[in-house]
């Protein structure tokens, strides 16, 4: 009985830690693209009438383009403070 009671807190600890684990690469990428599309800085490079036609990723850089405009967004990962999805900030640059 004592072993069972000890197993419950251990199991809860393992389950709670997995809830704060890093995201798989697919979902981390989705999170990054969502942050880019929701950023107000995006409107500095694309007008509201433009349609983004391409999003390419190379390393920590996203290359975004429409028929007439383009920009580069760098994902800058912040040092981890605790467990969980990677924290990052965005740096927009004009495409050359």
* Domain range annotation of the chain: 22-94
Buried b vs exposed e over 61-79: b needs ≥16 C-beta within 10 Å? ebebbbeeebbbbebeeee
pLDDT of residue 8: 55
Other Cβ atoms within 10 Å of 36 Cβ, number: 19
Q: What is the pLDDT along the chain (96 residues), one digit of tens a residue?
A: 555 455 555 454 444 444 456 889 999 999 999 999 999 999 999 999 999 999 999 999 999 999 999 999 999 999 998 888 899 999 999 998
Q: What does pTM read for this prediction?
A: 0.75
pLDDT of residue 13: 46
pLDDT of residue 22: 82
């Amino acid at each position: 009985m004592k072993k069972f009671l000890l197993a419950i807190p251990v199991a809860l600890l393992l389950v709670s830690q997995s809830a704060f684990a890093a995201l798989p690469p697919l979902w981390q990428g989705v999170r990054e693209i969502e942050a880019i599309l929701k950023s107000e800085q995006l409107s500095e490079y694309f007008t509201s009438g433009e349609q983004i036609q391409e999003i390419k990723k190379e390393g920590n850089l996203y290359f975004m383009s429409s028929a007439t405009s383009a920009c580069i967004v760098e994902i800058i990962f912040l040092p981890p403070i605790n467990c969980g999805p990677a924290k990052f900030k965005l740096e927009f640059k004009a495409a050359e």
